[in-house]
Structure 1
Amino acid sequence: MSTQPFTIDDLKRILMEGAGAAEDVDLDTDILDTEFEQLGYESLALLETSSRIEREYGITFSDTILADATTPRALLDAVNEHLADAAA
């Protein structure tokens, strides 16, 4: 399990590894508050992303996390909260 915070760069890397990026989306811009759907990531891509996060960071979170975390910022917060809880 990682003791480092989960960053936007970590998320971008995992998104690219699992689902790539839409041609018309630049992940290098400020995407923190952009809905995943606007970024071209549908539910299947987000399921793959959550699976990769869980494996890489040694955490498990419920499916409701994905329903509630509709932006990168919300997902970062959720992952970091789980990492903090796991470290406690």
Structure 2
Amino acid sequence: LLIQPETVYERVQYQFEDDAYDTVPDLITFYVGSGKSISAASGARIQFPCNRLYPLSFYASKYGQHGGIGGIRGPSPLNSPSPVPSSPGF
């Protein structure tokens, strides 16, 4: 979330659906501590957060992802290859 874009007061905040925080650790700490779900639709909760072992650049170089659709988390359903239908009886 970009607050007051293109001004001297421009800053970034991070949020899931409701509350916004200045840092990702603050966001995670709130959702873990409160037990609040990060999504009303799914009811997903953060219970056991863990830090990355390596910087994002390591994962990007290892898995060949340099942004774009899918990012470092892998391909999204939008750019994944379609499954090949099986041929019944062959």
Q: As a proportion of its length, which structure holds more helix?
A: 1
TM-score, structure 1 normalization: 0.24
Which has the bigger relative contact order, CA under 8 A and spacing at least 6?
1
Q: As a proportion of its length, which structure holds more strand?
A: 2
Structure having the higher Rg: 2
TM-score, structure 2 normalization: 0.24
